[in-house]
Amino acid sequence: MLRVVLTALLGALLALPGSVLATAPAPIDLQQLEQHPRWQALLHINRGATLRQRGNSYVADDAFFLADNGRRQPRAELRASIEQLAAPQSPARCQFPARYRFLAEQLQWPQEMAPFAHCDEYLEWRAEIPTGKAVLIFPAAYLNSPSSMFGHTLLRLDSAEDQGVWLSWAVNFGALTDGSDNSIFYIYRGLAGGYDGYFSIVPYVTKIQDYAHLENRDMWEYELTLDDDELSWLVDHLWELKDIRFDYYFFDENCSFRLLELMEVARPGIGLLDSLRFTEVPVNTVRSIDDAGLIGSRHYRASKSRELNHLADQLSPAARRVARRLADRPEQVIASADYQSYSPEQRRLMAQTAYEYLRFSHRTQERNESVARRSFTLLREIRTLPASALPPLPTPDAPEDGHATKMLSAGGGMRDDNGFGELGLRLTYHDWFDNNPGFLRGAEIEGLNLRLRKEESQRPVLESLQLVNIRSLAPRSAFVKPTSWFVTGGIERAFTTERRRAVRYLEGGPGLSWRWGNFHPYALSLFRIENNSDWDHWVEAGAGARLGMLWYAPGVTLGASAEGYYLTNDAYRHRATLTASVPVGRNNALRLDLVRDGWRDDHDEEIRLAWRHYFR
Amino acid sequence: MKRILLATALLGASVSASAVAPGGPGCGWGNMLFEGNNGLPMHLLASLVNGTSGNATFGMTTGTNGCDTSGNLTYSGKSLLAMNGVLEEVARDVAMGEGEALTALSVAMGVEATDRGHFNAVLHNNFDSIFTSENVTAAEVMANIESVLKADDALAKYSA
């Protein structure tokens, strides 16, 4: 506040008669000014990055424009800005400090000592906002929430002094939702631009709680190489975006896309938005920003569940069981000879494990007397015990070091003594056997996964088209008991009565999975509905199960599964598979599939070998 | 109607729907240790399109339990402790003797970097008198921290 008063005083003192606006020195080249990358970034002009509003501003809010219809008339907006920002006491300046600064520099307006002396609100805000450094935050995927697999991006602003990130600010672009939409409508609106998008600035601590604690996501933090000047452009522009409405589109104009625009404001001409960005997957945003040389260092923040697993890994199986009992009945177990027979360091680890487990397992629930009492007892126990040196939590591979998001495959094989060739294309994103670094084990999400097959002397046929395929294996342990599940839908070729033909299907079901070292066994129930022209009814339903195992071995990922289901028309199918995938560098892999398909009275065997190439 | 509500929420400081603290109305001084969270389903849903449900204000809420600090995003020790979930993290860090939440609290209370190690140790040693029970509230914790600081020669200057 003091600073505000001082600045205002300065402004008053320095608003000398001499500093009134001089006449413009030379005719202004509006064309050149309009094309300036920073000006285009400040106005959020679409330079061809997406299909909507080309040449216009993305901003959907009249309050952001000084000219009538400024959104669609960039030239008029530029003229209006020059007119309205030039006068020393202009109210527009308080709303558009970055625009003012840009025009004042470009048009060589007379230097003013305190151009914003009359803007109390802005000056107050500016004095509070931390401008030490900017950090790009990427909350990675978390298990059992496929939508999170794409991740999210936001910015963090830290103060210059190192004071812990809990006091930093988070700059987030998100859709403003009212929470009353059901999820189907929600997704539809998210895809069709039915939501308003706003920038918000909130305490970073709330984001840590949302992501690392509540949703249980690892967070990656990338320090940006923006210098003080670039950062001040960015911060001033954030003020211009206060309460300004954009349209929010899930696929392209989303949280990540808007951050790219902010990068352009800070460091114009890095070309992040010059070419078409069909979909903006957050991990590609991180890659683009990295490619533009904006990323300095990288820091990993583990989620609560990873911390819990790390603690539990330090204990012997027997100690782990004691820790588990400790969480349920701390007073009794602390008094027991069994617990007291461990060394103080071990006891501390056990108490910490029990505490973290208790907090983790009740993190989404209302306060509960018994849990609160137990948590408190455990904290008091921890306090009395000496700390043991915990080995650092191993940092997993960073998401941006993972394979690229799109995939093209070519291969061939034999089915029932017939040779065939096959081409595949997948729009997004990752399956169990794809090169694993940078991805969660046991998490699979695929959109638009297409395979075309041609047998000798036959026409090419659609072998399968998965519109969506999600399989989530969340391992159960002594401490957490999640449910695994899967859902898949699309077109596949299946044996009906006489022949293999394309059927429309949707299947899914809940299940269980575990983890023993690098082995991930699983058991999933399977419910299916199928639309098949060879059958009497328009749709048949079926139920069955699938058992299998994944093995993330060094240099190769292996899998085996067996499944079977009965349909309501008394047909049944069963299938056994073996899969092996060998990564070749980051963006290529060789995959072998062995399949045995069985149905009433007969079966087929198939062997497939394919080269998979991942690209952006 | 909803649009209008949303618009006002954007313009002014919004108080989130879950703002009524247990143990007392108004500003969240009644929030107890180990509060727990709620509304995860909404969170999961929101993450589908990265939604921000209802209160995407521009630095207008500090997330304190119903405390409205009108556009202020910097904290005193009080307002930090009053935030949902922070009390619990601070308690854990004090029991452990260090941690990010404890660092944030010391910064918010104006403790110099050179005194932070000592600050952490003093709080750690006085855990039992700061966190007197599992039902302790943010207000009580703050008061207890103040008296612990007062009793320490090096830290007395940081107590209000």
pLDDT in tens, A586-605: 999 999 999 999 998 889 99
Q: Is A30 on the interface with B (CB under 8 A)?
A: no
Q: Among candidates A191, A479, A189, which has minimal Cα distance to A355?
A: A479
Q: Predicted confidence band at A481 (pLDDT cuts at 50, 70, 90)?
A: confident
Question: How many other CB atoms are there within 10 angstroms of residue A184's CB atom?
Answer: 8
Residue A2 pLDDT > 70: no
- H runs (alpha helix) in chain B: 2-11, 40-48, 77-81, 86-96, 100-108, 116-125, 127-130, 138-150
Whole-structure pTM value: 0.80
Closest to A424 (Cα-Cα) out of A405, A452, A463, A455: A452
**pLDDT tens-digit profile of A160-180?**
776 778 888 889 888 776 656
Q: Tell me how far apart the 2 most distant CA atoms of chain A are, in Å.
A: 100
The closest CB to that of A163, out of B50, B72, B107, belongs to: B107
Spatial CA neighbour of B80 closest among A375, A128, A205: A205
Residue A409 near residue A612, CB atoms below 8 Å: yes
Instruction: Supply A8's token pair.
Output: 């205002």
Out of A28-42, A87-101, A318-332, B77-91, least confident range? B77-91
Output the average pLDDT for chain A. 88
**Mean pLDDT, to the nearest integer, of B65-69?**
42
When pLDDT is cut at 50, 70 and 90, the band that residue B5 belongs to is: very low
Q: What angle do CA A207, A208, A213 make, to 5 degrees?
A: 120
Residue of A537, A468, A480 whose CA lies nearest to A513: A480
* Higher per-residue pLDDT: A509 or B22: A509
**A44–chain B nearest CA distance, Å:** 19
Closest by alpha carbon to A244, among A282, A200, A278?
Answer: A200
> What pLDDT was estimated at residue B85?
79
pLDDT recorded at residue A14: 41
Which CB contacts under 8 angstroms, 24+ apart, belong to B14-23? B14/B54, B14/B55, B14/B57, B14/B60, B14/B61, B15/B61, B15/B66, B15/B68, B16/B54, B16/B55, B16/B61, B16/B63, B16/B66, B17/B54, B19/B65, B19/B66, B20/B65, B20/B66, B21/B65, B21/B66, B22/A367, B23/B137
Q: What angle do CA A490, A491, A494 make, to 5 degrees?
A: 130
pLDDT at A134 > cutoff 50 = yes
**Which member of A147, A371, A387 has the closest CB to residue B47?**
A147
Cβ proximity of A238 and A155 under 8 Å: no
Residues in chain A with CB shorter than 8 Å from the CB of B35 are 367
pLDDT in tens, B85-102: 788 999 999 999 999 899
User: How close A125 comes to chain B (CA, Å)?
Assistant: 8
Interface of B with A in 106-125 (CB under 8 A): 107-108, 113, 124
Q: How far apart are CA A394 and CA A306, in angstroms?
A: 10
User: Of A100-104, A149-153, A513-517, B40-44, where does mean pLDDT reach its minimum?
Assistant: B40-44
Alpha carbon of A61: minimum distance to chain B alpha carbons (Å): 13
CA count, 13 A, side-chain hemisphere, A33? 20
Q: How far is B69 from chain A (nearest CA, A)?
A: 13
Nearest Cβ partner of B49 from A190, A203, A367?
A190
Cα of A414 to nearest chain B Cα, Å: 41
- Give the model's pLDDT for residue B43: 45
Residues of A whose CB is below 8 A from B131? 376, 379
What average pLDDT does the segment A532-555 reach? 94
Per the prediction, chain B carries an average pLDDT of 69
* pLDDT for A261 beyond 50: yes
Could you say which of A147, A200, A206 has the minimum Cβ distance to residue B56? A200
Q: In chain B, how long is the greatest CA-to-CA distance?
A: 58
Residue B11: list chain A partners with CB under 8 A: 243
Q: A128–B72: do the CB atoms touch at under 8 Å?
A: yes
Mean pLDDT of A107-124: 91
Identify any residues that bridge with B33 across adjacent strands, giving them in sequence order.
Answer: none
